């Protein structure tokens, strides 16, 4: 790895929950961990497209503590060792604290670092053009500028904020005149006609030391609070972190700094903020449909249809989105699919688990899938990853049946160890303390039935 690459780090912000992509994206399994496009999750594809401009070993991901283990598995899935690459937040405090936390982590080991900040849940169509603009942004950052990638506004989008550019600087960048909030359609049309307004992508490049100085000037309280709780290689205390202001990097720094420039960029960018934006990005079939799953359509056009578990059959649909998961189905017209966020809020207010998690919950040791739940019984499928173990939670008022389906499981109970082979079963009561262990190279599968 050459020195030019060695001091350039990619910071991936992966702290969102993606409520506008419910029911696939959920609080415990947000959209950056979902495979919407191809065989890679959004976080995996974000990392892959950085090469060869940035070395993947210089990637750092800022995510919530509850997503640490699954994010680590996604790194391993593309051949990256996760050690030292994941920076965890004990709670969500918006982009300014997340970026400041990443800066302090990087500066602890490299005082000349350039940071390129990307949301972990965006997609880009023209990778060659993206690489060209990324190299331009790194050059500007090395000159002391704070760069934001401004996406060429090809139509009057009202769902994005805009950046207004001023006088020209190097590499085709423009001085930032101002940031503007999401406009109405008439205002957006004026921006398009003016020609110097760009969609605010939330992607940045800057020297870590330069941005740190801006935090000291424009956000001294946030800087002091973060410095007081930050220690290299140590977890951030939740109590202190949750007291930090909930503020975006735009409000905190970009709207105030005199170092800001916008780099006009046109590389097929989308923030995948809704089912409509995902539909717009993906290739369509002859009927202008995006279809993924076990789907049969009849007289269906201009639709997004996604099936995860069951057959979906549609008839005489137009401009609709249909998304099926094992426990929920979402149906909407495409143009108003963003409104699913209000449905998620209602689910949360009612205490429904569907807003929070899927039937399959990913855990440090593997996964647990709820197969059936009745008044007197709960049936789950357990998957234990190689080299992992966990303590089995037993029903206090009944018994737990455990059936081995695939692989050999080590069962530790009552001071004894036995091997549970496929087709064999065991029964435990609340008096037992049971630890299950996978000593094999592949995952083991079990069925757990709690009766009580």
**Over the stretch 81-101, which tens digit does the pLDDT of each residue have?**
999 999 999 988 899 999 999
CB 420 within 8 A of CB 409: yes
* pLDDT tens column, 166-198: 999 989 999 999 999 889 999 999 999 999 999
Tokens in use for 37? 């496009």
Cα 244 to Cα 224: distance, rounded to the nearest angstrom: 10
pLDDT over threshold 80, residue 431: no
Helix/strand/coil for 390: strand
SS3 content of the chain, % helix, strand, coil (to 5): 30, 35, 35
Cis omega before residue 130 (within 30°)?
A: no
What's the rounded Cα separation, in Å, for the pair 329 and 93?
31
* Same-domain status, 220 and 72: yes
Residue 291 lies in a domain: yes
Q: Which of 270, 300, 317 is the last residue of a domain?
A: 270
Are 41 and 156 in the same domain?
yes
pLDDT recorded at residue 6: 66
Number of domains in the chain: 3
CATH number at 383 reads 2.60.120.10
Q: How far apart are CA 138 and CA 132, in angstroms?
A: 10
Position 157 scores a pLDDT of 86
**What pLDDT is stored for residue 5 in this prediction?**
56
**Ramachandran bin of 54, using left for φ above 0, alpha for ψ from -120 to 50, beta for the remaining angles:** beta
Distance of CA 252 to the CA centre of its chain: 23
At which of 304, 326, 349 does a domain end? 349
Find all residues with CB under 8 Å of 141, minimum gap 6, and list them: 114, 115, 116, 147, 205, 206, 207, 210
Of 359, 434, 425, give the one whose Cα is nearest residue 393. Answer: 434
Q: Two tokens at 118? A: 């990307």
Residues 305 and 387 in one domain: no
Asked if the structure places residue 355 within a domain, the reply is no
CA distance 389 to 400: 18
Task: Answer yes or no: do 312 and 163 share one domain.
Answer: no
Structural tokens at position 285: 């079939």
Residues 31 and 166 in one domain: yes
Instruction: Identify the CA nearest to 196 among candidates 119, 142, 261.
Output: 261
Domain range enclosing 300? 275-349
- pLDDT value at 1 more than 50: no
Q: How many CB atoms lie within 10 A of CB 129?
A: 14
> Do 37 and 77 belong to one domain?
yes
- The pTM for the full model equals 0.87
The answer on 101 and 143 residing in a single domain is yes
Structure tokens at 87: 């920076």
HSE-up of 280 (CA within 13 Å, CB side)? Answer: 17
Q: Give the chain's length.
A: 452
């Amino acid at each position: 790895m050459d020195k030019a690459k060695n001091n350039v780090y990619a910071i991936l912000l992966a702290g969102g929950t993606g409520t506008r992509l419910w029911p696939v994206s959920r609080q415990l399994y947000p959209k950056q961990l979902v495979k919407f496009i191809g065989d890679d999750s959004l976080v995996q594809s974000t990392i892959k497209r950085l090469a060869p401009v940035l070395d993947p070993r210089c990637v750092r991901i800022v995510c919530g503590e509850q997503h640490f283990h699954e994010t680590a598995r996604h790194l391993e899935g593309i051949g990256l060792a996760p050690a030292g690459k994941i920076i965890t937040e004990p709670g969500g405090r918006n982009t300014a604290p997340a970026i400041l936390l990443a800066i302090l982590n990087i500066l602890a080991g490299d005082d000349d670092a350039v940071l390129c900040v990307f949301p972990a849940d965006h997609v880009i169509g023209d990778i060659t053009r993206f690489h060209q603009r990324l190299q331009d942004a790194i050059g500007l950052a090395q000159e002391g500028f704070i760069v934001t990638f401004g996406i060429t506004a090809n139509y009057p989008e009202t769902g994005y904020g805009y950046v207004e550019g001023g006088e020209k600087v190097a590499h085709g960048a423009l001085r930032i005149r101002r940031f503007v909030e999401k406009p109405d359609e008439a205002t957006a049309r004026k921006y398009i006609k003016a020609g110097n307004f760009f969609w605010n992508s939330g992607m940045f490049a800057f020297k870590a030391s330069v941005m740190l100085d801006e935090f000291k000037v424009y956000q001294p309280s946030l800087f002091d609070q973060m410095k007081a709780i930050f220690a290299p290689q140590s977890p951030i205390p939740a109590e202190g972190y949750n007291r930090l202001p909930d503020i975006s990097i735009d409000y905190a720094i970009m709207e105030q700094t005199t170092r800001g420039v916008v780099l006009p960029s046109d590389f097929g960018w989308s923030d995948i903020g809704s089912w409509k934006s995902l539909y717009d990005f993906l290739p369509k079939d002859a009927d202008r449909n995006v279809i993924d799953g076990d789907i049969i359509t009849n007289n269906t056009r201009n639709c997004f249809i996604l099936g995860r578990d069951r057959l979906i059959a549609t008839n005489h649909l137009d401009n609709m989105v249909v998304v099926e998961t094992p426990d929920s189905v979402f149906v909407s017209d495409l143009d108003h699919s963003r409104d699913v966020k209000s449905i998620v809020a209602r689910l949360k207010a009612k205490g429904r688990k569907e807003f929070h998690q899927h039937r399959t919950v990913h855990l440090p040791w593997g996964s647990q899938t709820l197969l059936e739940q009745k008044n007197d019984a709960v049936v789950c499928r357990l998957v234990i990853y190689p080299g992992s173990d966990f303590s089995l939670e037993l029903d206090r008022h009944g018994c737990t049946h455990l059936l081995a389906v695939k692989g050999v499981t080590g069962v530790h109970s009552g001071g004894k160890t036995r091997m549970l082979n496929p087709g064999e079963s065991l029964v435990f009561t609340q008096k037992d303390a049971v630890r299950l262990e996978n000593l094999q190279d592949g995952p083991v599968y079990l069925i757990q039935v709690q009766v009580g």
